[in-house]
Amino acid sequence: MPTEQFETKMFHEAGEAPDRVAAQFQNNTSAINEIAKRLASDKINMVVTCARGSSSHATVYGKYLLERQTGKPVCAFSPSVASVYGAALNLRGAMFLAVSQSGRSEDLLQSAKAAKAGGAFTVALTNDSASPLADLCDVTLPLLAGDETSVAATKSFICSLTALAHIAFAAGGDDKGLSALEQLPAHLSQAWEGEWNAALPILQDARNLFVSGRGVGFGIAKEAALKLKETSGLHAEALSAAELRHGPMAVVSEGFPILAFVSADESKQSVRELVSFCASNGAKCLTVGEAVPDALNLDCPVGDDPRLTPILQIQRFYRFANALSLARGKNPDEPPFLKKVTVTV
C-alpha cells in the first residue's frame, strides 16, 4: 500500500501525459490528416462513436468538437445492439470511431464488425496497435500513451482526448486549434504541478456528490465522477449543468458537495449560474477554473484555446484524485473488484 501520493503508479503515469501527448502530435499528424480528409469529404455524413468507461467519456468531449468543426452529427453506438441483440445496421456514409485503451473488449469487437458489415468507414483509436480491434478496423490511430499499469486510466484518457481534438481541428481546417494543441504539452506540465489541498477536508469523509460541467467540460465531469468512485470509493454522479437543475436538485441539501468544471467558453455562464444557485441553497460547491462567489475555487491553467482547457483540468484533477484516494485510506492503483482490462459482451 503506497503511503505517499508520488509512490503510486497512478501518480507516475498521469505525470507522463505531457510527453505522451507531445509524441502523439509529432507521430500521428500524417495519419490524422488522412482520417480528417475522409471525414471532411462528402462521403461521410455522420460520425458514430463506440466506447466504454473512460474512453466513452472521451467521446463525449470529442462529440462537441467534431460537431462544431464539421457540422456533421455525432452519436454513440450501443455495443449491446451488436453483441447481445445481433442486429444489423445500415451505416453507409458513417465514420465509426471505436475508442479503446486495450482494443480487446468483446462487445467493441463485435460492434466494429457490425459497423464494417453495415458499410461504415471504421477507425480504431487504441493504445495497442496489435490488438484485435486494430486488426478489424480500416484504419488504426495509436494513442501512444505508453504502458499503463494502474487500473485507473489517466494518460491514456488524456491521449484519447487529444487524438479526438486533433481529428476535429484537422477536419475543420482549424489552424488556431492545431497550433494550440501542439503547445498543449507545456500547459499540461504546468497543470500537473498544481495542488488542490484545500478540497481534501471537504471530500475526505464525503459519501456522495454531484460532478457537473457543460459542453466540452461535460465529458471531463463524467470522467472525474468515475475516478472518484473507482479510486476513492466515493459515490459521485456526473450531470450536466442543465440537467442538475431539474429533478436531481432535490437531492441537494445543506453541506452537500458539488464539484463543477467551469469551461472557459460559452458554456461557462450556465455552470456559474448553477453553482450560485446550489451555493445559495446550502451546497458546498467547488469550482475548477473560473471562480464563483460562495464556492471554493480550485485553480487551473487555461492554456491557449478554451476548447482544450478541459484537458488541463482533468490533468490537475488526476493529481488530486490520487491524493484524495490515499487520504481516504484507499489504493488508487488497485480498486476493489476491478482489473485493467474489462471484458464485456
User: Is residue 249 very low, low, confident or very high in pLDDT (cuts 50, 70, 90)?
Assistant: confident
Task: Write the pLDDT tens digit of every residue in 124-161.
Answer: 999 999 999 999 999 999 999 999 999 899 999 999 99
**Which one-letter DSSP state was computed for residue 46?**
E
User: Is residue 253 very low, low, confident or very high in pLDDT (cuts 50, 70, 90)?
Assistant: confident
Provide the pLDDT for residue 9: 95
Provide the pLDDT for residue 161: 98
> Quick one: the chain helix, strand, coil %, rounded to 5?
50, 15, 35
Query: Which phi-psi region, left, alpha or beta, contains residue 112 (left: φ > 0; alpha: ψ -120 to 50)?
Result: alpha
Q: At what angle do helices 53-70 and 17-40 cross, to 10 degrees?
A: 50
In this structure, the number of other CB atoms found within 10 A of the CB of residue 229 comes to 14
Distance CA 139, CA 126 (A): 11
- What is the percentage of the chain residues whose pLDDT exceeds 90? 86
323-337 burial by CB neighbour count: b if 16+ within 10 A, else e? Answer: bbbbbbebbbbbbee
E strands, the chain, are 46-50, 74-76, 94-100, 121-126, 139-142, 208-213, 235-240, 257-261, 284-288, 296-298
User: Is residue 189 very low, low, confident or very high in pLDDT (cuts 50, 70, 90)?
Assistant: very high
Residue 290 has pLDDT above 90, yes or no: no
Nearest to 315 by CA among 220, 238, 215, 236: 220
CATH topology of domain 5-173: Rossmann fold (3.40.50)
Nearest to 180 by CA among 16, 311, 61, 36: 311
Distance CA 64, CA 172 (A): 13
Task: Write the pLDDT tens digit of every residue in 294-311.
Answer: 999 999 999 999 999 999
Residue 99 has pLDDT above 80, yes or no: yes
Residue 43 has pLDDT above 90, yes or no: yes
* Higher pLDDT among residues 64 and 242, named by residue: 64
Q: Which residue type sits at 235?
A: H
Cell of 114: 457490425
Nearest to 79 by CA among 47, 117, 109: 109
Q: Does domain 192-327 have CATH number 3.40.50.10490?
A: yes
Highest mean pLDDT among 4-18, 160-174, 246-260: 160-174
Domain locations in the chain? 5-173, 192-327
Note every long-range contact of 246-253, with CB atoms under 8 Å and residues 24 or more positions apart, other chains counting: 248/210, 249/278, 251/208, 251/210, 252/210, 252/278, 252/281, 252/282, 252/283, 253/282, 253/283
Nearest to 345 by CA among 59, 32, 79: 79
Q: What is the pTM of this model?
A: 0.95
Provide the pLDDT for residue 251: 84
Provide the pLDDT for residue 336: 76
Question: Contact at 8 Å (CB) between 258 and 283?
Answer: yes
